[in-house]
Amino acid sequence: MRSVILDIGAGSVFFARILKWHNWRKRQLLLCGEPTWKSGVINSYRTRELIKENKTGIFRIISTYEKFEVEDDALDMVTLNAPHILMPPFGIESELMRCLKSGGVFFFSYPVNFKLPNFLEGTFTLLAREHFRNTSSVDLSTIQKFPHHLPHTVVPSKVMQYNIREHALRKQSSYQNALGTSYIYNRMPLCNRYEVWQKS
Euclidean distance between CA atoms 111 and 189, whole angstroms: 8
pLDDT at 169: 77
Domain chopping of the chain, boundaries: 2-199
Q: What pLDDT, in 10s, does the model give residues 191-200?
A: 889 999 999 9
Share of the chain above pLDDT 70, in %: 92
Q: What is this structure's pTM?
A: 0.91
Q: What pLDDT, in 10s, does the model give residues 2-57?
A: 999 999 999 999 999 999 999 999 999 999 999 999 889 999 999 999 999 999 99
Residue 64: C-alpha distances to residues 91, 131, 160, 166, 179 (Å): 9, 26, 21, 29, 30
Q: What pLDDT, in 10s, does the model give residues 56-111?
A: 999 999 999 999 999 999 999 999 998 877 778 888 999 999 999 999 999 999 88
Q: Say whether domain 2-199 belongs to CATH 1.10.10.
A: no
How would residue 163 be classed by pLDDT, with cut points 50, 70 and 90?
confident
C-alpha of 163 from chain center: 16
Strand partners, 100: 75
Q: What pLDDT, in 10s, does the model give residues 104-147?
A: 999 999 887 777 788 999 999 999 999 998 899 999 999 999 99
Euclidean distance between CA atoms 113 and 185, whole angstroms: 11
Task: Tell me the mean pLDDT in the region 149-167.
Answer: 89
Determine contact, residues 59/30, Cβ cutoff 8 Å.
yes
How would residue 179 be classed by pLDDT, with cut points 50, 70 and 90?
low
Euclidean distance between CA atoms 180 and 118, whole angstroms: 29
